[in-house]
A = this chain, B = another copy of it.
Amino acid sequence: MTILQPFKTEIDLKTGVFTPETGIIKRYLSQMRSMFADTDAVERILADEGDRLLYEVYVTKLPEEAGQILHCTTIIHPGKIGSEFHMTKGHYHARREEGEVYLGLSGDGCLVMQTQEGATDVQFMKPGTAAYVPPYWAHRTVNIGEAPFVFFAAWAGDAGHDYGTIERDGFRKLIVDAGGRVEVTDNPKYR
């Protein structure tokens, strides 16, 4: 095995921006068309205002292999699609037995989790919240505030991502704005 050289990344703890810039993943509404409950709202936004940037992920360039601790920041921009707050796609780890830890840096959000056996969990996050995703839990983050929700994440290099299961089945719980109150509701489309 090659021994990697140590390095550092400067993270703006308010905005989540990395210096030096490594890779940025940008997720737009058009890439998550079928993931929001209110598909009419999705199509209306795409037609009226064009595509919308929902979130960005700054990642370090590390090999996706056992022994590495991958890390990134995620910035979820504030807003809603219908009554549902902006959120990430969410995923299981390809190796289900790998966990992950999040540290809230800026803004307000929540971490929505579920297992394939039917358990669900929601952890509310603010700056300083270390939220733990134990092995076997799918995870999605949601911005429930009016400013960007920014957090740091660390996970094992060989965990991998399984987005397909969530794209097909969805999450059991939705995070919605119920007239100014944040509510956790059942997903009518969950299968």
- Which A residues form the contact surface with B (CB < 8 A)? 1, 3-13, 60, 62, 66-69, 71, 97-101, 103, 111, 113, 115, 117, 119, 121, 123, 125, 127-137, 152, 154-157
Least CB distance, A124 to chain B, in whole angstroms:
8
Tell whether A133 pairs with B8 under 8 Å between CB atoms, given A71-B101, A100-B69, A101-B154.
no
Q: Which residues of B contact A123 (CB under 8 A)?
A: 6-8
Number of copies: 2
A7 vs B135: C-alpha distance when bound (angstroms) = 12
Q: Is the CB of A1 within 8 A of B97?
A: yes
Q: Which residues of B contact A135 (CB under 8 A)?
A: 1, 3-4, 67-68
